[in-house]
Amino acid sequence: MSASTHEVVNQPPPLVGHDLAADAALVEALGREGAGWAADDLHRLGKLGGEAEAQRWGDEANRHEPRLLTHDRYGHRVDEVDFHPSWHRLMDVAVSEGLAGAAWADPRPGAHVARAAGLFTWGQVEAGHICPVSMTYAVVPALRHDAALAGAYEPLLTSRVYDPGLRAPGTKRGLLAGMGMTEKQGGSDVRANSTTATPAADGTYRLRGHKWFTSAPMCDLFLVLAQAPAGLTCFLVPRVLPDGSRNTFRIQRLKDKLGNRSNASSEPEFDETVAWRVGDEGRGVRTIIDMVAMTRLDCVTGSASGMRAALVQAVHHARHRSAFGGPLIAKPLMRNVLADLAVETEAATALALRLAGAVDRGVRGDAAERAFGRLAIAVAKFWVCKRQPAVVGEALECLGGNGYVEDSGLPRLYRDAPLNSIWEGSGNVQALDVLRTLQREPGSLAAFRAEVAAAAGADRRLDEAAAGLATMLSGADLESQARRIVGRMAVVLQGALLVRHAPAAVADAFCASRLGGDWGHTFGTLPSGAGTAALIERAMPA
Ligand SMILES: Cc1cc2nc3c(=O)[nH]c(=O)nc-3n(C[C@H](O)[C@H](O)[C@H](O)COP(=O)(O)OP(=O)(O)OC[C@H]3O[C@@H](n4cnc5c(N)ncnc54)[C@H](O)[C@@H]3O)c2cc1C
């Protein structure tokens, strides 16, 4: 018997059955960056992501966390991780939709843009499984430092078949890759790595040492940094050797993490572990950086995706929830908050897709785009990833107390939000990397300036900010000012993109607040007169 004390009213319906890709900022950028041909597939993926079943996969993969199995019942070491079936469903969609390595085997111009848009869309369902998906995408350019290894493994890394389980790589229909750089004594400063690599008579190496973070340890292949006789070197470590026997990859623990809980992050030990050198001895950082650059791109896309996922929940809630005599979405102050979040999210989306376009054109031989991407990815990695926790926190508050409760999905988005800024170059390290790139590759600054100059004359506030940036870059004490400089570079770049491509209301609100200084210290402080109606309408989930 139920005690009927009240009716349930004024609670929004679940946001389900919508198309995650019905996002004007995303679809316009997709066409602009040369992948308009992918729109139908993107909407198909977006609709799949909006279904209740996909949402359930995301929820279950996080509630039923991966479990480490060190030994089998007889006491043999197995070092495997057991995932909930929903994790495998998510992975299967991601790989079969081409979000892992497939873009590298796709000759169509715009393939990397289409893939980034897919990652942005599908990442809204669940962010944790994007980690191995992203590393599998990112490993390809680094592996190409060794033609024989690339020849053997690239066709499987670019496959659209998700084939889980530890078996000899050559016997599988698709492979996944991870990376092992970080050790206990130093992550950012990989020169402090102590894992050793000893040459063997057959041309392979034997690794001995440990890694403090190695995510997705059920991947088939890993790029690992270790100290060879001539210095820090990049190695390929398969979990299963070509003859079908297990390589030594002893998983000591899985991390008990703030978020990213569907994904396993491990502490492996290597002992007589067989490894193949990738690139020259002593050039490990130079080799693996080609992987890191691509995972950084995905950090930007992933952060934009996390913002969008939170924003649509906030807009949906405000549309269906009333307080003080009317829907929240009609309240001027709530409109300011939602519009401000929408502007931030659109700026992140436009930038992420612009970077994917630069990668796409770069791999097809456009040197200026390659130079632009080298600098702009690092700038965006610092800035967009830093914005994600702020955006998600504010979107969560739009749901009031409901947003603080697990069922709403916002707590998961909130726990996941800081991660993109930490891994693959934490904030300070990322900002310092930008300074290094400016110093070493003046061509990349020229490409960055050309991108901003393409918007010159369209908005006075943007022009003034661009001029101010030039002064900052020539200033003294650059290291302590790195965050200021890189943050400014990012908003100038975002402003230039929005002024050229976004509706006037978006570009104007961005330039007034982010560049013109007419803004407060929290979201919801756009100046009076900002076109909040147009901004919210554009952000509305379909
Ligand atoms: C969930 C998760 C999964 C991960 N998965 C992987 C993985 O699969 N493979 C892998 O190799 N690593 C992985 N990592 C590790 C991650 O890449 C590192 O944690 C990160 O690079 C930072 O390194 P660190 O933890 O050693 O911190 P540190 O390098 O000690 O840095 C600590 C802080 O100091 C700052 N700092 C460092 N140097 C300077 C400086 N010169 N000036 C100013 N500030 C500075 C940093 O920005 C940071 O804020 C993972 C981490 C997490 C949280």
Q: Looking at beta carbons, which pairs linking 480-486 to residues 24 or more positions away fall under 8 Å?
A: 482/428, 482/431, 482/432, 482/434, 482/435, 483/382, 483/427, 483/428, 483/431, 485/431, 485/434, 485/435, 486/378, 486/379, 486/382, 486/383, 486/430, 486/431, 486/434, 486/435
Torsion of CA 312, 315, 320, 323, to 10 degrees: 140
Q: What is the pLDDT of residue 542?
A: 81
User: CA of 451: how far to CAs of 360, 381, 395, 444, in Å?
Assistant: 16, 18, 31, 11
Q: HSE (CB half, 13 Å, CA atoms) of 335?
A: 18
Quote the ligand 1 centre to 180 CA distance (angstroms): 12
Quote the ligand 1 centre to 183 CA distance (angstroms): 10
Dihedrals phi, psi of 461, to nearest 5 degrees? -65, -35
Quote the ligand 1 centre to 422 CA distance (angstroms): 6
Q: What is the pLDDT of residue 476?
A: 86
| Candidate of 429, 430, 432, 477 to mutate for ligand 1, largest count of ligand atoms within 8 Å of Cβ | 429
Quote the ligand 1 centre to 263 CA distance (angstroms): 18
Residue closest by Cα to atom 17 of ligand 1: 423
Q: Which atom of ligand 1 is nearest to the CA of 188?
A: 29
| Candidate of 213, 251, 294 to mutate for ligand 1, largest count of ligand atoms within 8 Å of Cβ | 213
| Candidate of 254, 422, 433, 479 to mutate for ligand 1, largest count of ligand atoms within 8 Å of Cβ | 422
Q: Write the DSSP string, 225-248.
A: EEEETTEEEEEEEESB-TTSPBPP
Residue closest by Cα to atom 29 of ligand 1: 188
Q: Which atom of ligand 1 is nearest to the CA of 211?
A: 11
Residue closest by Cα to atom 31 of ligand 1: 188
* Ligand 1 lining (C-beta closer than 6 Å): 178-182, 186-189, 213-215, 257, 260, 265, 419, 422-424, 426-429, 432
Give the pairing of strands 250-254 and 77-82: unpaired
Quote the ligand 1 centre to 23 CA distance (angstroms): 33
Residue closest by Cα to atom 41 of ligand 1: 429
Residue closest by Cα to atom 44 of ligand 1: 428
State how far the Cα of 211 lies from the Cα of 28, in Å rounded to an integer.
Answer: 42
pLDDT, mean of each 10-residue run, the chain (542 residues): 84 97 98 98 98 98 98 97 98 98 98 99 98 98 98 98 98 98 95 97 98 98 98 98 98 98 98 98 98 98 99 98 98 98 98 99 98 98 98 98 97 98 97 97 97 98 96 92 98 98 98 98 96 96 85
SS3 state of residue 34: coil
Residue closest by Cα to atom 49 of ligand 1: 426
416 token code pair = 């996941």
What is the chain's alpha carbon radius of gyration, rounded to the nearest angstrom? 23
Q: Which atom of ligand 1 is nearest to the CA of 257?
A: 1
| Category of 245 on φ-ψ map: left (φ > 0), alpha (ψ -120 to 50) or beta | beta
| Candidate of 426, 435, 478, 484 to mutate for ligand 1, largest count of ligand atoms within 8 Å of Cβ | 426
State how far the Cα of 521 lies from the Cα of 322, in Å rounded to an integer.
Answer: 27
Q: Which atom of ligand 1 is nearest to the CA of 181?
A: 11
- Asked if residues 132 and 95 have their Cβ atoms less than 8 Å apart, the reply is no
Quote the ligand 1 centre to 65 CA distance (angstroms): 23
Quote the ligand 1 centre to 438 CA distance (angstroms): 22
Quote the ligand 1 centre to 66 CA distance (angstroms): 23
End-to-end CA distance of the chain: 39
Q: Which atom of ligand 1 is nearest to the CA of 424?
A: 17
Residue closest by Cα to atom 33 of ligand 1: 426
Amino acid identity of residue 147, one-letter, is A
Q: What is the pLDDT of residue 55?
A: 98
Torsion of CA 55, 60, 61, 63, to 10 degrees: 130
Q: What is the pLDDT of residue 383?
A: 98
Q: Which atom of ligand 1 is nearest to the CA of 179?
A: 9
Q: Which atom of ligand 1 is nearest to the CA of 215?
A: 8
Quote the ligand 1 centre to 189 CA distance (angstroms): 8
Q: Which atom of ligand 1 is nearest to the CA of 180?
A: 11
Which sign does the torsion angle of CA 391, 392, 397, 400 carry? positive
Quote the ligand 1 centre to 423 CA distance (angstroms): 6
Q: How many C-beta atoms surround the C-beta of residue 271 within 10 A?
A: 12
